[in-house]
């Protein structure tokens, strides 16, 4: 009798342990399910976080329409996936938070692709290659003739960006802006409120060309950090990543990506640049 009871109790314990393991596995599987794509597919809508102030990646044209390289590319991607696009506008930190909390499916805002981001987010294939450059005053180069001259200079940018981290690492004094326009950035350098802007070369080239009356320029032959950019998604958005990457590949193959690139940058930014990169800054990228 006692032996039978012990055996029954042993079987019961085994069943309980098995049930517990089964429950744990099920919970783990649920956690890794790509529910983000299920929501997108159900609503037929891709919610895109962007700034609306980053010319020519994401900005408002004279007709008050949100356009730009990243915006046009993601709209074409969505069209090919039979999805509508809904945009929400934030600064960089707000965009990252929106992806993390699920209020946006991805970021389309010239987001740099790097190892640190790859640990936290899912990143698409590159849609743009570029490198860093510096905008200074035309009259005196803002006193900058080498990278060491950044020490003590007032560097303008949005707080926590990689470019501001580089400026800080070189001893510059940071002057932070929150989603400011290119005109404000460039005018402040021209009038001496700030001295230098570290940012993407193609973005700076377009910004200075769009505002030719502002006496600033890009420092020649002082380029740094080869970079690539694409769309940033939540870490679990694996289905969305695959669909976007396949669509980007299709757009490269049929020439659509290059055509959109030349519309905004007057250059094919889908290929690695040929300019000489003078310096590589090792920063803790976000």
Report the chain (286 residues): mean pLDDT per 10 consecutive residues. 40 37 36 76 97 91 97 98 98 94 96 87 96 97 97 94 93 93 95 96 89 97 94 96 98 98 94 92 68
- C-alpha distances in Å from residue 133, one per residue of 60, 75, 118, 226, 234: 24, 29, 24, 10, 29
pLDDT for the residue numbered 116: 82
Residue 108 has, within 13 A of its CA and on its CB side, a CA count of 28
Q: What is the largest CA-CA distance in the chain?
A: 100
Distance between CA atoms of 224 and 37, rounded to whole angstroms?
37
Distance between CA atoms of 223 and 280, rounded to whole angstroms?
9
pLDDT for the residue numbered 285: 53
Instruction: Report pLDDT digits (tens) over 17-36.
Output: 333 433 333 333 334 457 78
**Which CATH number, 3.20.20.70, 3.40.190.10, 3.30.870.10, 2.30.42.10, labels domain 130-225?**
3.40.190.10
Domain layout of the chain by residue ranges:
35-128+229-265, 130-225
Q: Give the pairing of strands 154-158 and 196-200.
A: parallel
Same fold across 35-128+229-265 and 130-225: yes
Exposure letters 174-209 (e unless 16+ CB within 10 A, then b):
ebebeeebbeebbbbbbeeebbbbbbbbbbbbbbbe
Architecture of the domain spanning 35-128+229-265? 3-Layer(aba) Sandwich (3.40)
Pair 196, 189: CB distance under 8 Å: yes
pLDDT for the residue numbered 180: 87
Distance between CA atoms of 74 and 80, rounded to whole angstroms?
10
CA-nearest of 179, 191, 181 to 154 is 191
Count, residues in the chain? 286
- C-alpha distances in Å from residue 257, one per residue of 70, 79, 175, 267, 269: 10, 14, 35, 12, 9
What count of other Cβ atoms lies within 10 Å of the Cβ of residue 144?
Answer: 20
Alpha-helical segments (H) within 200-269: 201-210, 238-253, 256-265
Distance between CA atoms of 85 and 87, rounded to whole angstroms?
6
For the chain, the distance separating the N- and C-terminal CA atoms, rounded to the nearest angstrom, is 66
User: What residues contact residue 164 under an 8 Å CB cut-off, 6+ apart?
Assistant: 155, 157, 158, 174, 176, 198
pLDDT for the residue numbered 33: 57
């Amino acid at each position: 009798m006692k032996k039978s009871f012990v055996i029954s109790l042993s079987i019961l314990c085994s069943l309980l342990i098995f049930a517990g393991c089964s429950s744990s596995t099920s919970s783990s599987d649920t956690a890794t399910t790509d529910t983000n794509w299920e929501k997108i597919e159900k609503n037929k809508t891709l919610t895109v976080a962007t700034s609306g102030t980053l010319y020519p990646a994401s900005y408002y044209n004279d007709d008050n329409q949100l356009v730009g390289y990243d915006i046009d590319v993601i709209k074409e991607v969505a069209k090919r996936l039979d999805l509508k696009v809904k945009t929400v506008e934030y600064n960089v930190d707000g965009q990252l938070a929106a992806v993390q909390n699920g209020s946006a499916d991805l970021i389309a805002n010239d987001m740099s692709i790097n190892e640190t981001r790859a640990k936290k987010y899912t990143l698409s294939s590159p849609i743009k290659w570029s490198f860093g450059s510096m905008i200074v005053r035309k009259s005196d180069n803002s006193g900058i003739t080498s990278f060491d001259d950044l020490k003590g200079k007032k560097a303008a940018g949005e707080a926590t960006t990689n470019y501001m981290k580089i400026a800080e690492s070189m001893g510059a004094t940071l002057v932070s802006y929150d989603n400011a326009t290119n005109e404000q950035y460039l005018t402040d350098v021209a009038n001496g409120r700030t001295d230098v802007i570290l940012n993407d070369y193609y973005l700076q080239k377009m910004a200075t060309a769009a505002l030719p009356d502002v006496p600033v320029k890009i420092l020649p032959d002082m380029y740094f950090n080869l970079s690539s950019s694409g769309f940033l998604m939540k870490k679990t958005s694996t289905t969305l990543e695959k669909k976007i990457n396949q669509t980007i590949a299709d757009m490269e193959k049929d020439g659509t990506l290059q055509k959109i690139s030349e519309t905004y940058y007057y250059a094919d930014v889908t290929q690695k640049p040929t300019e000489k990169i003078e310096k590589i800054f090792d920063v803790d990228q976000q």
